[in-house]
Amino acid sequence: MTTFKCLSWFLTCVSLICFCRSQDSIASILQTMNRFQEEMRDNKDDMIRMEKRILNFIEVAKTSLRAELKENIRNEVRNSNDVCIRDKQRLEIELEKAKVTTANLKTNIKLCTALKETCQSQMSQLITNLSVPACSPSSVNATSTSRPSVSSTPTSTPPTTSVILVTSVWSSTPRQFRQINIHSNSLGVYPHLIIKRVTYATYARKTRKLLMGLEYPDKVVTSTLDTNHVTILREGVRTYGIAVDEDRDVIFIATLKPLYSISRISTLGKNFTVIIDLSRYEWYPRHLTLDTNGKRMYWCNYEKLFTVTYDGQGLTTLATGDQLYAVALDMAAGVLYYNDAKKLFKMTLSSNVTTQLTTLNAVPWNMRLNRGTIYYSGYDSRIVGALNLTYSVTAHTIHSINIKGAHSLLMCLIP
């Protein structure tokens, strides 16, 4: 019995010893794990700090590279601009020289043409005087002091070079066109275009076609010179001003309907586009003329003279007045001519300096400039007049034209 008691005590001691040892081992393991976790946290913090440093380095490098790239681009653009400016200045100098040369050539051509016309007129007058019988001296005196008279029965010859087609504004007479030969000053009936209610007419040189506005019904039409057939370019448009830029195949129209505007259309009648809406003005635009070199338009609206670019930018009022109807542009000289009632004004476009040239013998409905001479047709007057800018500032009447139902005339110059 004593032996068993000692064994029990022994086993209890062994168990206590094993338990104590196992507690020490567990505590050691826990301490090791805690240290490992702390090291893991420290390593993670180090990695986060390292990542931040790397990201900061990348951002600094990107900023530096971006700044360097911008500076390089800026330098390249600056160098390119300098080259472009030098080239532009050189081209402008050459262009000015070319303009001066062109202006001198055109002036000489105008002088030669005017001299030729004067010689032809004097020769025609001399032939007329020599052809009169000697037994009628009074007839000789009458012929030598007057302009060639209009035959009571107009002739019907087809248009040649340098003629003026004249018609009535709004007239319902079907065959109403007349033609004036500028060189011989003869008047005849134009045998083609049996149309009526014409509001405007202009001529395209390259295609040798007439462009006309008609009303009731409103439309824009085109026709060749030797036919009665017309082709409709646009319906629903009423106009008192048409101009064509043939180099760019575009027609500009000063419209009264469907709204007050300057619009454009192709020479084939396509792509009708309103360039600038003028509905805010009381009066509708009329008699349009173009600066094809500078891509600008000029027109009047009864009270004001306007200009704007081809794309409708920079609308500017150049002059105001009481009866502004007609404009004519000399692109080579940079001079714009316009009327205010019967007064004819000249505006130098480079300086906008305006001077009055003369007083016309009628209020012009429209004007055309050809070889140094301004031709115009009368508003509320049935005359066609002319003013030679080279030799005289006095306007004279070429013809008084009677068309049934007419009180105003419009003209179309075919140079």
Domain presence at residue 13 = no
Q: What is the DSSP letter of 153?
A: S
Same domain, 168 and 290: yes
Domain presence at residue 28 = no
Question: pLDDT value at position 117?
Answer: 62
Same domain, 245 and 317: yes
H helical segments located in 132-225: 137-145
Gap between the terminal Cα atoms of the chain = 154
Question: pLDDT value at position 168?
Answer: 82
Same domain, 162 and 125: no
What is the span of the domain harbouring residue 185?
155-414
Same domain, 232 and 361: yes
Among 113, 146, 179, the domain boundary falls at: 146
Q: Going from the first residue of the chain to its last (415 residues), give the mean pLDDT of each consecutive group of 10, the final group possibly shorter.
A: 62 72 74 83 87 88 86 82 80 79 74 66 53 34 34 41 81 80 87 87 91 93 89 94 94 94 93 94 93 94 94 94 94 94 94 92 92 91 89 84 80 88
329 beta partners? 336
Supply the CATH number for residue 384's domain: 2.120.10.30
CA 255 from centre of chain: 15
Domain presence at residue 14 = no
Percent helix, strand, coil in the chain (nearest 5)?
35, 35, 30
Domain presence at residue 74 = yes
Question: pLDDT value at position 141?
Answer: 34
Same domain, 101 and 192: no
Question: pLDDT value at position 145?
Answer: 33
Among 119, 146, 173, the domain boundary falls at: 146
Nearest-angstrom CA–CA distance, 276 and 268: 21
Same domain, 160 and 136: no
Same domain, 123 and 171: no
Please state, in angstroms and as integers, the Cα–Cα distance from residue 109 to each residue in 103, 115, 277, 300, 371, following that order.
10, 10, 40, 30, 8
Domain presence at residue 174 = yes
Domain presence at residue 383 = yes
Same domain, 43 and 90: yes
**Residue pair 147/185 in contact by the 8 Å Cβ criterion:** yes
Cα maximum dimension of the chain = 195
Domain presence at residue 100 = yes
Indicate the residue type of 179.
Q
Same domain, 55 and 73: yes
Same domain, 73 and 164: no
In this structure, how many other beta carbons lie within 10 angstroms of the beta carbon of residue 245? Answer: 18
Among 94, 113, 146, the domain boundary falls at: 146
Q: What is the DSSP letter of 155?
A: B
Does residue 174 have a cis bond before it (omega within 30 degrees)?
Answer: no
H helical segments located in 132-154: 137-145
Same domain, 80 and 165: no
> pTM of the prediction?
0.61
Domain presence at residue 10 = no
Q: How many separate domains does the chain show?
A: 2
Nearest-angstrom CA–CA distance, 343 and 362: 9
Question: pLDDT value at position 147?
Answer: 36
Same domain, 178 and 115: no
Question: pLDDT value at position 51?
Answer: 87
